[in-house]
Copies of this chain bind each other. A is one copy, B any other.
Amino acid sequence: MAVQVLSVKQIEELLKVEFPQIFNAQSGVSIVSVTPEGCRVRQAYQENSIRPGGTISGPTMMALADFAMYVAVLAAIGPVPLAVTINLNINFLRKPSQTDLLADARLLKVGKRLAVGEVTIRSAGEDEVVAHVTSTYSIPPRS
């Protein structure tokens, strides 16, 4: 888990091609920083992901966590677009504020076949955890 293989810029280039559904101008998703052990990504506050009462929807947070894990996995193992999520477990803890979301992914294991990590989601500028995720990616065999 000690080497960062791809930079933010390289991951952005890859995502524009491989992940255009979530990584595009309209999605409001961006990569803040990447390290060998994880990354921080941001979801801009958008009207269309709001539920009554001003809450950001659960699926918005699940998509953000999945994105954060994918970025962390790419950074750690390189351009393996066919890595796929096999498990995601999310606990929703608090109602997020009406502002951007920050998601911090941390890899707990990067094996030959599986990568496991946790993602902590907070409202930008706040300390309390809004949602906590653990997720497992399957890494395809590399030749």
Contacts and interface: CB of A to CB of B under 8 A. Distances in A.
Contacts of A114: 86, 138
Interface residues of A, number: 41
Chain copies in the assembled complex? 4
Contact of A22 (B59, B88, B89, B108): B59
B89 A88 contact: yes
Contacts of A17: 52
A140 B82 CA distance: 21
A32 interface: no
Interface of A: 17-19, 21-22, 48-53, 57-59, 62-63, 66, 81-82, 84-94, 108-109, 113-114, 116, 118, 129, 132, 134, 136, 138
